[in-house]
Structure 1
Amino acid sequence: MSESGYTLIYEPNTASRVSVNEFKTLLEKGKDEVKVDTMKKILISILNGDPMPDLLMHIIRFVMPSRNKELKKLLYHYWEVCPKLDDSGKMRHEMILVCNAIQRDLQHPNEYIRGNTLRYLTKLKEAELLETLVPNVRQCLEHRHAYVRKNAVFALWSIYKVSDHLCPDADELIYRFLYDENDSVCKRNAFVCLGDLNRNAALQYIQDNITTIETLDPLLQLAFIEFIKRDSLKNTSLKQQYAQLITEIVESSSNVVMYEAANTLTVLTSNPASILLAGNKFVELATKESDNNVKIITLDRINDLNKEHPGVLQDLSLEILRVLSSQDLDVRRKALNVTLQFITSRNVEDVVKLLKKELQATSSSNDDKNSEYRQMLINAIHQLAIKFSEVAANVIDLLLDSIADLNSTAAYEVITFVKEVVEKFPELRDAIVKRLIAAFPNIKSGKVFRGALWIIGEYALDEHLIQDSWKHIRSSIGEVPIITSELKTREPLKTEENSNGGGEEHHKKKGGPLVLPDGTYATETAFSAETVDSADSEEKPPIRKHLLAGDFYLGAVLSSTLVKLILRLQESKVSGKILNASKAEALLIMVSILRLGESSLVSKRIDEDSADRIASYIKILNDEQDAENISTSFLEETKDAFKAQINDAEQKKAKAEAKDLVEHAEQVDHAIVFRQLDKDNKAGSKAIDDLVAASGSNVKRESLAPRLSKILQLTGFSDPIYAEAFVRVHQYDVTLDVLLVNQTTSTLRNLSVEFATLGELKVVDKPTTANIGPHGFYKVQTTIKVTSADTGVIFGNIVYDGQHSDESTIVILNDVHVDIMDYIKPATCSESQFRKMWNEFEWENKITIKSPIGSLKTYLEELMKGTNMKCLTPGAVIGEECQFLSANLYSRSTFGEDALANLCIEKQNDGPIIGHVRIRSKGQGLALSLGDRVASISRKSKNASITRV
């Protein structure tokens, strides 16, 4: 006869297990506190597979008479799991005494003891024991206390299911009880039982209460919903009537009932009116429920409903946006994502107006939460404008108006969005460029200036637009040459200082050479002067201010824009006088920027790249011979590259949507294949068939060859005991299977293996002690919990008793290093998210590279393979093989830790690859661990393969 299966309970130390005789002694002579502890140990032993039938009589004699409530509770746990049948399969005689004790407890004046005993009866499956208890259970149905009555209903139901002849009229009893009962919990329990015992009686009870169903207790309403859900699967013809009934229950005042009823309504019917009603209830829950988890769950249900019934819930878009009043960013993000699925040309304008109000309401605050929320709103508006061209112009005006109030990240998002709109909607280009030019004085960030200048250089095509752009760019730079004008502004200050005695202080100044911060001596030329005090920096034109602060990348972009504008003026056949004047002014601006970068007026000298770019632009403007190629590269190829980037992003998005559709959609005429019944594998499933796996035949077994590479030697061959471990990595833990071999001719007594850890590791369980005979084998297993993707070390020793009791021998084990690559997975994120994390993360590890690998792309592939990182830089940007490669990489650990990397490498002529990798993470450990992997990859030869340690 098969035994029932129970939950295994952890036994702290199996080596110190108490014998049956010791248990008997403790039960005979111990006090109640000792008996409680003893009963717990007995229960653990029984649950772990040792029935100990000899203890039954001792427990009846020494535990059952006790009045201790904790001991009585443990006693009922014991009655549940103790062996009730003898070896021949007949009821043990001692159970008669147990049955008498249960009968007394069912008549006990204390309602808690009665209720607890009734709860135990629901777990008792022996009809012989239950037979004598039925009259007492029937009496408990009329007990004065609700705790007894609610358990008595379930006990009667359980007895009927064990053997219906023990209580043949159970359904009639419960039906009468349901009408006579006033307590809500008792009524709920009774209806649950009645629904299982007598479907017609349950339907009759629902019919009798149909007029007051909205005002019933929520517990009973939930029981009705559960019954309807089950019964509708068996009786599909009643679905329409059930749907009408649920429509009334869904108006309940209880949020739990409302959620369950709305869920059930979507299962029962596909009627658009019912689906819209369910959606309205989900929205109502999302807005009025304070728990953020409930808000997210209900928004998910709305999203699922929209996928199943597209177009039905479109009118709820504005209602869903009421959830934006929540302060939690995850809730707001979910609400925006769900709403964007519902937008059509009919309601897009209303949604954009609401998002505008939200954006304006948050513009006054600059804390991190509000800035992130603003970014989410901008992204949402961006998506709407790209999808619906009729609102694009209106949206651009709004965003460019508010650009002065946004932080640099949000403002850059706006410029990125404007770029895409200008490219996608040619009819809006002139209006958008004019609006962008008007917004120039409000721009504060250098990054935003660069984006705006690029847009003007690419899309200012008409002569009047070019002239207007030139005028605003010129006013943003200020008077040129920059150095001369800056020195002029300083002269009045010097005159004032001299009149106030400043000259005297100047003469007192110590002579001699001036040492610069980089250790070199300063020299004074016509282009050098003392740094201007920044007191009047607020009055300076915006681009000039950035140049004086050392942002010469902006200067290079500005020079490129000027070249593009002049080339467009040439194409528009403008008069030679205007063209030559513009060209001369552009050359003056570029030369002025170069000279400013070499002077001491700036806080940071110009970098080589920017200086080379500006110098090349000066040469291009003076080069009349290769005008056609220059015009093509500046005016066409850059725009084509941006267009290709947008098309690539759209294709990726379309592929992802198509993949999702293919995975979750079935054609109308396709046969439905159940994987569990698909023996011929018609569905093409790679998984092992469940029926085959359950039967234990033809199951694919793990090959032993890969396991050999993961076996680590822990002790030497000459040690008295040899140990080796197989390391198995799961999602959040590491399991060590350790094989111990006694290499001596004597028995090793009380041998134990002790492990300890360094790093974010924790030993969960301790291997048990054992005795190993001469040349004997023994296996132990331990689990180590991993809490972070950090380098961890497991170390330990083996201890066993010597020949004398006071001696012990210790064998030190080799260290086991946890490979963090098992916890790091490739991931993806947007460019803005990457830049934000790059600025926020404080730990950086810079690794210098000198690798003999022959190709830059090969090195990138080896790096991605060895570090489990994904390249975020598009393949089109990396392009063909060249002498220099720069790329961003990203990965995420199982524990939610982000790891960022920036690769900059150069291939020397007939030499090694040189450069560096910068790794950033929130914690130091992850950055250092990945740095070690990068260093090991750099040392590998051209043909070496990446293998794990």
Structure 2
Amino acid sequence: MADAKFFTKGKVQELREELAAADKRDTKHTKKRIVLKKIVANMTMGNDMSPLFADVVAVMQAPMLEVKKMAYLYIVSYARSKPDLAKLTISAFERDLVDPNPLIRALALRTMGYMQVDKLIEALANALQKCLADKDAYVAKTAAISVIKLYTYDRDLAQRTGLIDKLRSLLNNENSMVVANAVAALSEIAEKTPDFDMRMDFTLSSKLLTAMNECSEWGQVYILESLLYFVPQEHGDAEVVAERVMPRLQHANSAVVLSAIRVVLYMTNYILKDDIVNSFFKRIGSPLVTLLHNGPEVQYVALRNIQLILQRKPDFLKNDIKVFFCKYNDPVYVKIAKLEIMFRLVTDDNIEQVLPELKEYATEIDVDFVRKSIRAIGKCAIKIESAADRCVTTLVDLIKTKVNYVVQESIVVIKDIFRRYPNKYEGIITTLCENLDSLDESEAKASMIWIIGHYSDRIENADELLSHFSDSFKDETSNVQLSLLTAVVKLFIKRPTKGQELLPKILKWSTEDVDNPDLRDRGFIYWRLLSTDPVAAKVIVFGDNPPITSEMENLPSQTLEELFLHISTLASIYHKTPQMFIGGLRQKKVEPSAAFVFVTSQPMADTWMAMFCKLKVVSIKNHLTF
């Protein structure tokens, strides 16, 4: 609040005069600091202070760190709009780069990296040559990050001046902070450059794991991410790295935990014995469950990553299904993610625990969550045959609540249950028919029409019920129209006297009054079949339906394996590879090696091993080193 007084509009000429006056008899640089605060405040308010560029450059000579910070902030803000004036700062930066104070040296280097002006880029390259070898760890780690900025702006200059090689040499630095920043810089360069060789051998990986013990939490994340460039050539190497990473699963920071899990999962690709692989999967279960005790954002990230792991290993966390029961105060996105995991883990042994939970969720306020809960009940009935009776009873109880959206969603899932278990639950059709007037959603209408048509020989007033839907035929959506057309044809085939009045009307509307080509074509086909060969019509209309399965839609195996290399990133949350939403990124993959055995698919393992033999990779220690 003390600096609020500086946020008043000032004139450029007055501020210039104040800077000039402050240069006299201001040994403690107090006046310079006050004037610079006024300039920065005016910049913040959107006032153009660029005419003061030369005056602020002159102030950079003051040895006070606070003054330099504000002067650097000003220069960064206007350097790109005033590239001709930016060259005036070169001599000032060169003086600061040799200052005895490492904070000033690092600050000058970081500021030069932010400016990215042609006239300063050569000076930045020269400065990095010295700063990468600086004895002070803070300066060296700042230089490592600055190499990324130079590489992004001028890739050829960074390679031509040998800065990448010097950056790699920092991996052997004694200071873990420097190592972590060098790893972060190299990893980012590798992400942006497909042909950049970032692979490392076992010796270097061991050094990085040792340095990780003294790193900050974000330094540990960078090092863990870099371990995905290590390609073990022996099964034992993969086991050793995985074991050394395991202690990170107990870290308080969720990013460290998830990054460690990613490394462990990556290393399991190179481990031959299934029992060892299974033990690693078991050991990463508890840390993932622990993450569910954090805030909703961390919970969601953990849940989305668990969903990925379950697609590869369905019995993962099979004994921890209660952990995924929804809490009353969970955000809806967390509840839906938990719901998917619950369905993946539900079995004949735990359905008694899951079904009451799902029924309770179906009575909550959030409509979307209620719908998904009802669908989960229906999927459980399809997945677990022994529990189908209980699931259907639960759905009937929900229908009796007379809540509109609950009734409609229940009818949709019951249709699939009828298809999965034909001629088994027809006794509930009467209950369904009592709710015809409450149906106003197209999917529910289409499902109810299918049920009436399919069981038209058992529903006495089927013709009246279908006639009820036909009154608004022309105004219905295409899926309702298609369902009604087929249902009326089924009624006519099973009970010609009941359907003979309704069928011509529906066929006429379908072929003459509707623009939908699918509906029109189907109407013509039915008309021709019924007029020429009723027997063939019956075979076609009552032919075998596609089988109903409860399996959730899984990702393609290749996509899934790539996403395993992006655990804890946005890709694992979107369940899409990074290339699908960010351009120019390097594709990650499990590289072939002498130790490579793909545990989930033996044919795939054979393919990779054949590729490995073709490449004739003799030993990673010979040529895949930094």
TM-score, length-scaled by structure 1: 0.36
Per-residue deviation, 1:273? 1.9
| 8 Å CA contact 1:393, 1:428 repeated in 2 | no
Q: Does 1 or 2 have the higher relative contact order (CA < 8 Å, sep 6+)?
A: 2
Q: Is residue 421 from structure 1 mapped to residue 425 from structure 2 by the alignment? A: no
Unaligned stretches of 5+ in structure 1? Answer: 1-22, 46-54, 87-91, 142-146, 179-184, 471-556, 565-605, 611-626, 667-689, 691-949
- The alignment status of 1:404 with 2:403, answered yes or no, reads no
Matched, 1:381 2:386: no
Instruction: Report the RMSD for the aligned CA atoms in angstroms.
Output: 6.5
Q: Residue by residue, what CA displacement relative to the aligned partner does 1:465-518 show, whole Å, maximum 9, x if unpaired?
A: x9xxx9xxxxxxxxxxxxxxxxxxxxxxxxxxxxxxxxxxxxxxxxxxxxxxxx
Provide closer, same or farther for how the CA distance between residues 647 and 314 of structure 1 changes in structure 2, counting only shifts above 3 A.
farther
Deviation at 1:258, TM superposition (A): 1.0
Task: Indicate the residue corresponding to 1:253 in structure 2.
Answer: 252
Partner AA of 1:175 in structure 2? N
Q: Please give the residue correspondences for 1:810-825 in structure 2 after superposition, counting only pairs within 5 Å.
A: none
> Within the alignment, does 1:299 sit opposite 2:303 as a pair?
yes
Distance verdict in 2 for CA 1:436–1:608, change over 3 Å = closer
Residues 848-887 of structure 1 show CA distances to partners (whole Å, capped at 9, x for unaligned) of xxxxxxxxxxxxxxxxxxxxxxxxxxxxxxxxxxxxxxxx
1:350, distance to aligned residue in structure 2 (A): 1.8
Q: Which residue of 1 aligns with 2:217?
A: 218
Are 1:315 and 2:318 matched, yes or no? yes
Cα distance in 1 for residues equivalent to 2:541 and 2:303: 33
CA contact 2:411–2:432 (8 Å) conserved in 1 = no
Q: 1:112 to 1:329 in 2, by over 3 A?
A: same
Name the structure 1 match of 2:354: 354
Seen in structure 2, the aligned counterparts of structure 1 residues 79 and 240 have a Cα distance that, compared at 3 Å, is farther
CA distance in 2 between counterparts of 1:630 and 1:436 reads: 22
Secondary structure of 2:292 counterpart: helix
CA contact (8 A) 2:57 2:89 kept: no
**Alpha-carbon deviation of 1:304?**
3.2
Question: Residue type of the partner of 2:110?
Answer: R
Q: Distance in 2 between matches of 1:233 and 1:125?
A: 39
Q: CA deviation at 1:225?
A: 0.5
Q: Is the 8 A contact 1:118 1:155 kept in 2?
A: yes
> What amino acid is the match of 1:287?
L
Alignment of 1:594-609 (within 5 A): none
For residues 426 and 125 of structure 1, do their structure 2 counterparts lie closer, same or farther at Cα, with a shift above 3 Å needed?
closer
Separation of aligned partners in 1, 2:112 and 2:500: 87
- 1:257 positional shift: 0.7
CA offset at residue 362 of structure 1? 5.8
* Residue pair 1:153, 1:174 contacting (<8 A) in 2 also: no
Alignment of 1:239-638 (within 5 A): 239-270=238-269, 272-273=277-278, 276-277=281-282, 280=285, 283-284=288-289, 287-292=292-297, 294-307=298-311, 309=312, 311-313=314-316, 315=318, 318=321, 321-323=324-326, 327-341=330-344, 347-348=347-348, 350-351=350-351, 353-360=353-360, 363=363, 368-369=365-366, 371-405=367-401, 407-426=403-422, 428-429=424-425, 433=427, 446-447=437-438, 560=464, 629-630=496-497
| Cα distance, 1:322–1:74 mapped onto 2, change above 3 Å | same
Shift of 1:380: 1.0
Q: What residue identity is the alignment partner of 2:100?
A: Q
Distance in 1 (alpha carbons) for counterparts of 2:289 and 2:142: 36
Deviation at 1:231, TM superposition (A): 3.4
Q: C-alpha separation between the residues in 2 aligned to 1:137 and 1:389? A: 69
The aligned counterpart of 2:70 is 70
- Give 3-state SS (helix, strand or coil) of 2:306's partner: helix
Residue of structure 2 in register with 1:119 after alignment? 110
Distance 1:226 1:99, change over 3 A: same
User: Structure 1 residues 393, 349: closer, same or farther in 2, change over 3 A?
Assistant: farther
SS state at 1:374 partner: helix
Partners of 1:222 and 1:283 in 2: CA distance: 17
Q: Distance in 2 between matches of 1:243 and 1:607?
A: 62
Q: Secondary structure at the match of 2:225?
A: helix
Percent of pairs with identical residues: 15
Q: Distance in 2 between matches of 1:340 and 1:218?
A: 35
User: Contact 2:109/2:143 (CA < 8 Å) preserved in 1?
Assistant: yes
Quick one: distance in 1 between partners of 2:223 and 2:542?
54
Amino acid at match of 2:335: R
Q: Distance in 1 between matches of 2:559 and 2:453?
A: 45
Residue 514 of structure 2 corresponds to: none
* Cα displacement (A) at 1:358: 3.7
Alignment of 1:890-929 (within 5 A): none
Structure in which a larger fraction of residues adopt helix: 2
- Structure 2 segments unaligned to the other structure (5+ residues): 1-11, 20-34, 115-119, 151-157, 188-197, 473-493, 507-533, 562-583, 585-626
CA distance in 2 between partners of 1:383 and 1:173 (Å): 52
Contact (CA 8 Å) 2:371, 2:406: kept in 1 or not?
A: yes
Q: 1:243-296 CA deviation, whole Å, 9 max, x = no partner?
A: 33233323323211111122233333236526734873685266223234x444
Q: What one-letter code is carried by the residue in structure 2 that aligns with 1:392?
A: A
TM-score (norm 2): 0.50
2 CA distance for matches of 1:302 and 1:635? Answer: 52
